[in-house]
Amino acid sequence: MNRLRQLWGEHGQAVWLDFIQRDLLNSGGLTRLIEEDGVRGVTSNPSIFEKAIAGSGDYDAAIDALLAASPAPSLIQLYEALAKDDIRSAADLLRPVYDGSGGSDGFVSLEVSPQLAADTKATVEEARRLWKEVARPNLMIKVPATKAGAPAIQTLIADGINVNATLVFSLAHYEGVAEAYIRGLEKATDPSKIASVASFFVSRLDTVIDSQLEAIGTPLALELRGKAAIANAAMAYGRFKEIFYGDRFAALRTKGAQVQRPLWASTSTKNPAYRDVIYVEELIGTDTVNTLPTATLEAFRDHGNPRASLAAAVEDAPGTIEQLAELDIDLDAVTSKLQTDGVAAFSASWDALMAALDARRSAGNQA
């Protein structure tokens, strides 16, 4: 069997594609990934759209048509017209997965502007508007798991809007969005109709922690390289099991509410010394999603080892976290900075995208 399809068929883990581009949609590429590889969702973010729109000619004709129809659109209007078309197309291609899963899978994620990450009210307003304008039941609105994002997530879930809580780096971040999801469901008219994932970022943690371990340089420190990210994610998965299969969620479960699945994000391998599918192979478990960039998806299809690995990772995780603490590795400080840096990186991609669209708009108006 196809290794990617085994993740869902044998281990209950959904594979989502961490990429979107118009050519992928129009060429039949996404359809093939859905039908042949069992891809069950798509995620996007400002960095992905910046590379797709500014880094290819796929959108030139659409931009020309938008400028012809309205010679002076705002940059936001120009971007959203392009992005919403892509998101609708992807959602329509995934609609059979959504319908076949009873509304528990087959989602496409669209992120609110990262520049709103510190503004709860503005985040809610933009999310509500995007939800209404895209008008697809298998849309997920991505909201960062910042202090301002958590109450926005709660409000949106209560509204009946599917949410992808993104930029989750720590156990505290995870617990915050899980609680926001549950509180939102408790206020929702029909909790059975709402879905959410918590996007837990993985590989970036090893990039930072490994450099600290190498600076320490002791045998234990060097032995721990490449282990922090898996342990951190496994701790979150263990907490997921406690929350969503314990008393806290029991009443909502009787009403048909879905668990908020952990979604493993940032799963491409940054260190060439590590196996290129390490953050897929070591995080396989039921009720999870792994969102893979194209290269990682193709690598796992070629040589990945689909096995139930998360249970063992959960058992080993506390010991690894304890050893890191013994070496004075401040995991909370690192993950807090990673979230801040993540928001900043997406904001930078957003600014680059707006600059590229501004240049394209100017060129179009001069033509």
Q: What is the pLDDT of residue 366?
A: 58
Q: What is the pLDDT of residue 73?
A: 85
Q: What is the pLDDT of residue 247?
A: 93
Within-domain flag for 216: no
What H or E segment, with its residue span, contains residue 310?
Answer: helix 310-326
Distances 98 to 58, 95, 193 between C-alpha atoms, Å = 27, 5, 12
Give residue 349's domain range: 3-201+258-308+341-362
Answer yes or no: is pLDDT of 199 > 90: yes
Within-domain flag for 315: no
Within-domain flag for 280: yes
Answer yes or no: is pLDDT of 86 > 90: yes
Q: What is the pLDDT of residue 39?
A: 98
What H or E segment, with its residue span, contains residue 184?
Answer: helix 171-187
Q: What is the pLDDT of residue 14?
A: 98
Residue 267 carries which side chain, given as an amino acid letter? T
pLDDT for 10-24, tens place per residue?
A: 999 999 999 999 999
Within-domain flag for 253: no
Q: What is the pLDDT of residue 71?
A: 74
Within-domain flag for 323: no
Distances 159 to 139, 152, 183, 206, 355 between C-alpha atoms, Å = 14, 11, 12, 37, 34
Q: What is the pLDDT of residue 255?
A: 96
Average pLDDT of the segment spanning 138-160: 97
Distance in angstroms (rounded) separating the CA atoms of residues 283 and 293: 16
Within-domain flag for 118: yes
Q: Which of 180-184, 298-302, 349-353 has the lowest mean pLDDT?
A: 349-353
Answer yes or no: is pLDDT of 367 > 60: no
CATH label of the domain that carries residue 139: 3.20.20.70
Active-site residue list: 142
Q: Can you say how many angstroms the Cα of residue 245 is from the centroid of all Cα atoms in its chain?
A: 23
Q: What is the pLDDT of residue 356?
A: 86
Within-domain flag for 353: yes
Closest CA to 31 of 121, 93, 102, 86: 93
Number of domains in the chain: 1
Q: Can you say how many angstroms the Cα of residue 334 is from the centroid of all Cα atoms in its chain?
A: 20
pLDDT for 51-73, tens place per residue?
A: 888 888 899 999 989 988 887 78
pLDDT for 252-279, tens place per residue?
A: 999 999 999 999 999 999 999 999 999 9
Mean pLDDT of the chain: 95
- Per cent of the chain over pLDDT 90 is 90
Within-domain flag for 222: no
Q: What is the pLDDT of residue 363?
A: 74
Q: What is the pLDDT of residue 365?
A: 60
Tally the C-alpha atoms within 13 A of residue 316's C-alpha that lie toward its C-beta: 14
pLDDT for 335-346, tens place per residue?
A: 999 999 999 999
pLDDT for 205-252, tens place per residue?
A: 999 999 999 999 999 999 999 999 999 999 999 999 999 999 999 999
